């Protein structure tokens, strides 16, 4: 394997269990608006949310549009009369409070940090992401944390990674590797930025048309790739 100095690690569903966080947060938010928080309703929201974030990754929607459109569609499909903007506010607060890391994440970050310079690269709202990283104790392992809401660009835009490069002393794209679960954000982002990529394919979905430099399916495989 090529020798790297910088690891750019994605947060959601790579280090943080966003699926569980999302389930807890949307269930709490729906209950606040008089809707029974069933597993089916949580799954419906998750599917709607993924659809709109994919459009965001493709540059077709802004983050603000995603945040409102997802609740407009959810409420329409549930037949619920509620204000999407108010729901977004409640959901965002719950999302920040419900941070969960995957088992073994802290140990992985500690061990990777002993060999590499770790940078966290994530899309999202800064206040929410910082809270979740702090509550899970992961923030201490990173030299720097880059969040799209602060950067002014989002993965997979080249501008996001240009910002990372410009604000990381000594950064060298040839010695950097992006590790993430998002084909349209992390892997395509690496392609756009000229940085090698490792697709964290936890669910064995396969890379589709993407061409990551490496593919791993678990923390054990990631350790084998980067620490042996």
pLDDT single digits (tens) 176-203: 999 999 999 999 999 999 999 999 999 9
What residues of the chain score a pLDDT lower than 50? none
Residue pair 145/139 in contact (Cβ under 8 Å)? The answer is yes
Q: What domains are there in the chain, each with its CATH number?
A: 6-17+101-227 (3.40.50.1000), 18-97 (1.10.150.240)
Reply yes or no on whether 162 is catalytic: no
CA pair distance 116, 13, nearest whole angstrom:
21
Contact 115, 227 (CB under 8 A): yes
103: number of Cβ within 10 Å: 10
Angle made by CA atoms 34, 88, 161, in degrees to the nearest 5: 150
| pLDDT given at position 3 | 94
The reported pLDDT for the residue numbered 57 is: 84
> What pLDDT is recorded for position 194?
97
Which pLDDT belongs to residue 67? Answer: 92
182: helix, strand or coil = coil
| pLDDT value, residue 58 | 85
pLDDT at 24: 92
């Amino acid at each position: 394997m090529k020798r790297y100095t910088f690891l750019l690690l994605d947060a959601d569903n790579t280090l943080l269990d966003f699926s569980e966080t999302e389930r807890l947060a949307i269930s709490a938010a729906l209950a606040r608006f008089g809707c029974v928080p069933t597993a089916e309703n949580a799954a419906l929201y998750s599917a709607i949310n993924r659809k709109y974030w994919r459009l965001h990754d493709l540059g077709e929607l802004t983050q603000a549009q995603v945040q409102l459109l997802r609740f407009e569609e959810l409420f329409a499909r549930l037949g619920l009369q509620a204000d999407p903007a108010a729901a977004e506010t409640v959901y965002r607060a719950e999302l920040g409070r419900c941070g969960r890391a995957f088992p073994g994440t802290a140990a992985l970050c500690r061990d990777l940090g002993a060999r590499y310079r770790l940078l966290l690269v994530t899309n999202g709202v800064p206040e929410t992401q910082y809270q979740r990283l702090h509550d899970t104790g992961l923030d201490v392992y990173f030299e720097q944390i880059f969040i799209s809401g602060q950067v002014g660009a989002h993965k997979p835009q080249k501008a996001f990674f240009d910002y990372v490069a410009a604000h990381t002393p000594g950064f060298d794209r040839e010695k950097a590797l992006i590790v993430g679960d998002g084909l349209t954000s992390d892997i395509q982002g690496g392609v756009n930025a000229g940085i090698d990529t490792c697709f964290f394919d936890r669910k064995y979905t396969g890379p589709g048309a993407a061409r990551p430099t490496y593919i791993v399916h678990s923390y054990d495989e990631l350790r084998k790739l980067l620490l042996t």
